[in-house]
């Protein structure tokens, strides 16, 4: 039986911490930043945890089911 392949889009976007949490970047900080307030762009920076509803699907894509 062949090995399962990791989803290459998921591995670029999701990081697994040592304790097993899934981290992702927040959306909305790539373009059209001139019209967004500094408060909004600062709030969008940094990592966020993947929602519990999505985490099981993301684990499967990463081969960590």
**8-state DSSP, 30:** S
Q: Model's pTM, two decimal places?
A: 0.85
Q: What is the per-residue pLDDT for 65?
A: 74
Torsion angle of the four alpha carbons 45, 14, 12, 4, in this order, in degrees rounded to the nearest 10? 180
Q: What is the per-residue pLDDT for 24?
A: 97
CATH of the domain spanning 8-61: 4.10.410.60
Q: Which residue, chain included where needed, has tokens 């519990």?
A: 52
5-53 pLDDT, tens digit per residue, is 999 999 999 999 999 999 999 999 999 999 999 999 999 999 999 999 9
């Amino acid at each position: 039986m062949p090995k399962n392949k990791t989803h290459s889009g998921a591995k670029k976007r999701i990081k697994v911490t040592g304790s097993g949490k899934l981290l992702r970047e927040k959306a909305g900080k790539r373009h059209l930043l001139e019209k967004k307030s500094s408060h909004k762009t600062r709030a969008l920076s940094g990592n966020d945890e993947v929602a519990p509803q999505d985490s099981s699907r993301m684990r499967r894509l990463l081969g960590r089911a």
